Chain A
Amino acid sequence: MRKQVSATRMELLNQKKKLGLARRGHKLLKDKQDELLRVLQDLIKEVMQMRREVEDELIKAMKRFVLARAVTEPMYIEDAFMISTSTFSITEARRSVMNVKIPVYESEFEGLLTSYGFLNTSGEMDLALENLHAVFEKMIKLAEKERAIILLSEEMARTRRRVNALEFILIPDIEEAIKTIYMKLSEMERGNISRLMRIKDVIRK
């Protein structure tokens, strides 16, 4: 629905100012949208690669673990993982990308990876744990990047809505208003001229 505007020169100036501002805003938001798209594309490529690596390494670690499980008596497996000596902590910081606060996870692992005896457990179990530990670090980095993708894509959607609103609603509306004011002012101008010409004719007669 078009906004009613008063057809005055003052309003025309205001609308022209508004149009200038809207065009500048549109350009800035469009640039932001393009940059967000570029950052997102790079991140998506990186995440796809990381996800493939993480999945491969997880499969590798799980295969090792299955093998270790196959050659070890279940009672020794249960005993081996009954008590854990290691602690794991994760802290979350934030960094700004295109004014979007994306998380940065810092993980810390303390203690020994293995807390079992060597007589009745397989060496494959150590390697499976080592693999899982290595892949865990990558999984945290992957989670960080995937979260960044979600946040950036939400920002992208917001920016696109703003760009579209400016491009297809606000700017055309202002242009339309300017055009309307201009036409009305021109009409008034022409009315004045005709009135003056008519008065001039009456005086002359």
Chain B
Amino acid sequence: MLEILTKLPERFLENQEYAYAVGRVRALEVSLIDKQRFERLLKAGIEEMGRILVDTDYSHSLSELLNPSTFENALQNEKQRILTLIDSLIFEENVRKFLHLEFDYFNARVLLKGKIFDRDVSDFLVPLGNLNTDEMKQIFENEEYEKLPENLVKAIQDAISSYYNSKEPRMIDFTFDRAFIEHMNVSGYPPFLQDYYRLLTDLTNFRSLLRWKVMELDKSRFRDVLLPGGFIPEGMFLELIGEPVEQIPGVFSRWIYYPVFLEGTKYLNTNHSFIRYEAMVEKLLSTYIDKTRYLVFGVEPIIAYYLKKMKEIKNMRIILVGKFNGVEEEILAERLVV
């Protein structure tokens, strides 16, 4: 797996102004939960988990974290804490905003759905975006979309027209996903982050292809779900929609993703599950993030820390949800990527 990404060119900016921030992040990285600790958590009961986590970032919210009804709050608080920390470390405004963009797109999507289907969606909004959720609500209520950033306005307009053409709510999601990924490819963002999203786009497109085929959805509509801007051209996925699942990975034999596609498809065919593919995708993305390990300067190690922390929160969620619902340890271990 590791050698796959050596084929990708390294596009780091190595900005020396981040010397302090990188030092700070390197110090913080030490407290990230490592593989051994996750393995211990997997084997532990809830009480034992408390003891294992006592000297980690979660120590201050252990009682909340180990409670089935409040653990999500603890994870969300941790996420918010990290976002605030990262905001304080990144001085380039566009990069800082970049990390909050996901939530702006999410809130806009939810508000648009609420508007179209006449639902109160206030509880669904996430206050982690660049835009204030109350202001966004007001904008959607008065339909003053022009007050929003240009990219978001375009996404909203596209989503409205694609919904009214098809009468399918999923078109709103597809349009917003596409708009978000298109936004990532706008110049001015760190190439490291852009490449991360290009990798994610390819891996998501491949998974979408498999999902579309497994669900036996209308082949002529597959174009709607494809995300733009990946390394693999969208046309390549479109051509494969009619092919048998087991023959699809072979088409990508010259691409760096081939082992992931091959293994993920094999597992899907034999076990009718996406677990392996999704775990391998996470592993590949982690390997990509780890390329910043030896960088001394630049915004990249800070973004990498943010992404690693998000992955840690995700792993914590996998373990906690699994433990609270009695999922077998082996299944959790298969899905956990450290």
Contacts and interface: CB of A to CB of B under 8 A. Distances in A.
Interface of A: 63-64, 66-67, 69-71, 74-76, 78-79, 82-83, 85, 112-120, 122-124, 126-127, 130
A54 B275 CA distance: 24
A83 B117 CA distance: 8
Nearest to A62: B325
B225 A82 contact: no
B174 interface: yes
Contacts of B331: 63, 67
Interface residues of B, number: 47
Which interface residue of A79, A118, A122 has the most chain B CB atoms within 10 A? A118
Q: Interface residues of A: mostly helix, strand, loop or mixed? A: helix
Contacts of A75: 106, 124, 126
Contact of A66 (B121, B170, B227, B327): B327
Q: Is the interface of B mostly helix, strand, loop or mixed?
A: helix
Interface of B: 72, 76, 106, 109-110, 113, 117, 119, 121, 124, 126, 168-170, 173-174, 176-177, 180-181, 204, 207-208, 210-211, 214-215, 217, 225, 227, 272-275, 277-278, 314, 317-318, 320-322, 325, 327, 331-332, 335
Nearest to B204: A119
Given A66-B327, A117-B173, A112 B168 contact: yes
Given A70-B335, A119-B227, A79 B106 contact: yes
A127 B110 contact: no
Given A75-B106, A83-B117, A118 B177 contact: yes
B181 to A, nearest CB: 7
Contacts of A116: 170, 173
7 contacts: A66-B327, A70-B320, A70-B321, A71-B317, A123-B210, A127-B272, A127-B273
Contact of A85 (B121, B170, B215): B170
B170 A123 contact: no
Given A82-B119, A124-B275, A74 B72 contact: yes
